[in-house]
């Protein structure tokens, strides 16, 4: 059993539980993430769960999908437009059911896979474990906008270590995507997990250090919070610079929300 697949599944189920009882009209509620509605977020999660399932199968369906998405990307149009066109006419509750089916299928397909197996993606190929961890990260990050809009305090689990690892592993990427020179060494991380465990990453002798709650680190690297709106302790110029530009997801350089804009809970 691939633990990361179960983590993704559980995260998706938790989000579904708070959405399933909402009225269709409520699914058009706007969030503080680029004014996306709940429906926009559900659609986005569905499309990329669908894509991950196709990439695992690696047949003509994947080739057709990847050709279409790359053609769209080359036009310079935002991905949201591609996602809307792909699911044109699907109403809110039907979309919610589609998304539920997609995460259940993704879990079933990934849970017994070889974690090191390489699979294709829209960008560079990746491992099975990286693919499902990325789906967990995206579900967690986009889900936060929904929790915020509903004023629900999220109870995180130690499974967010998957997001911490992605955030730490994308240190260089955060600099490269912003056309900045990459520092030689990643700051030392000392984070407290939701259950109270201490998670440490990188060289503890590094003068650049980041300490605090793991969930605060996750919020910063996924850009659901500004560094000034969490309680991470930063030591050293590189630690401060990284947390100001951290981006653990692919695509063009994005900036985090301005201080205070998404400081909800």
- 3-state DSSP of 159-180: HHHHHHHHHHHCHHHHHHCCCC
Structure confidence by residue, pLDDT tens digits, 8-37: 999 999 999 999 999 999 999 999 999 999
Q: How far is CA 120 from CA 59, 158, 180, 227, 257, in A?
A: 11, 29, 28, 33, 31
pLDDT at 77: 75
Structure confidence by residue, pLDDT tens digits, 147-170: 999 999 999 999 999 999 999 999
172 inside domain = yes
Q: What percent of the chain has pLDDT over 90?
A: 86
CA angle, corner 182, sides to 178 and 185, nearest 5? 140
- For the chain, the domain total comes to 2
pLDDT at 265: 59
Q: From CA 121, how far away is CA 164, in angstroms rounded?
A: 22
67 inside domain = yes
Structure confidence by residue, pLDDT tens digits, 74-83: 887 788 888 9
Starting at the earlier edge strand, list the strands of the sheet with 198-201.
198-201, 188-192, 209-213, 233-235
Residue 108 has pLDDT above 90, yes or no: yes
Residues 145 and 24 in one domain: yes
Residue 200 pairs in a beta bridge with: 190
pLDDT at 56: 93
Residues 114 and 202 in one domain: no
Q: Which of 155, 188, 216 is the last residue of a domain?
A: 155
pLDDT at 105: 97
pLDDT at 88: 87
DSSP 30-73: B-SSTT-BHHHHHHHHHHHHHHHHHHHH-SHHHHHHHHHHHHHH
Band (pLDDT 50/70/90 cuts) for residue 86 is: confident
Provide mean pLDDT across the span 38-66. 94
CATH number (domain holding residue 86)? 1.20.120.450
Band (pLDDT 50/70/90 cuts) for residue 143 is: very high
Band (pLDDT 50/70/90 cuts) for residue 72 is: confident
pLDDT at 197: 98
Structure confidence by residue, pLDDT tens digits, 181-211: 999 999 999 999 999 999 999 999 999 999 9
257 inside domain = no
pLDDT at 225: 97
Residues 37 and 51 in one domain: yes
pLDDT at 59: 85
pLDDT at 79: 83
Tell me what the pLDDT averaged over the chain comes to: 95
Residues 87 and 145 in one domain: yes
95 inside domain = yes
The range of the structural domain enclosing residue 217 comes to 160-245
């Amino acid at each position: 059993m691939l633990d990361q697949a179960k983590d993704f599944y559980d995260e998706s189920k938790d989000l579904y539980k708070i959405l399933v009882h909402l009225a269709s009209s409520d699914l058009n509620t706007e969030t503080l993430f680029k004014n996306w509605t709940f429906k926009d977020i559900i659609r986005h999660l569905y499309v990329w769960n669908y894509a991950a399932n196709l990439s695992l199968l690696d047949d003509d369906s994947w080739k057709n999908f990847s050709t279409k998405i790359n053609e769209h990307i080359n036009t310079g149009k935002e991905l949201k437009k591609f996602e809307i066109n792909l699911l044109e006419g699907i109403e809110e509750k039907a979309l919610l059911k589609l998304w539920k089916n997609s995460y259940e299928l993704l879990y079933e397909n990934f849970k017994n896979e070889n974690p090191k197996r390489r699979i294709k993606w829209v960008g560079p190929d990746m491992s099975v474990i990286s693919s499902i961890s990325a789906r967990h990260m995206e579900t967690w990050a986009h889900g936060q906008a929904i929790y915020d809009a509903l004023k629900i305090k999220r109870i995180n689990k130690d499974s967010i270590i998957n997001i911490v690892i992605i955030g730490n592993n994308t240190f260089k990427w955060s600099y490269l995507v912003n056309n900045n020179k990459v520092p030689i060494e990643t700051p030392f991380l000392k984070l407290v997990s939701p259950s109270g465990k201490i998670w440490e990453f990188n060289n503890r002798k590094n003068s650049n250090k980041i300490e605090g709650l793991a969930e605060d680190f996750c919020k910063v690297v996924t850009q659901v919070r500004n560094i000034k709106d969490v309680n991470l302790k930063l030591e050293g110029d590189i630690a401060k610079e990284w947390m100001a530009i951290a981006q653990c997801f692919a695509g063009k350089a994005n900036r985090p929300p301005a201080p205070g804009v998404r400081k909800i809970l």
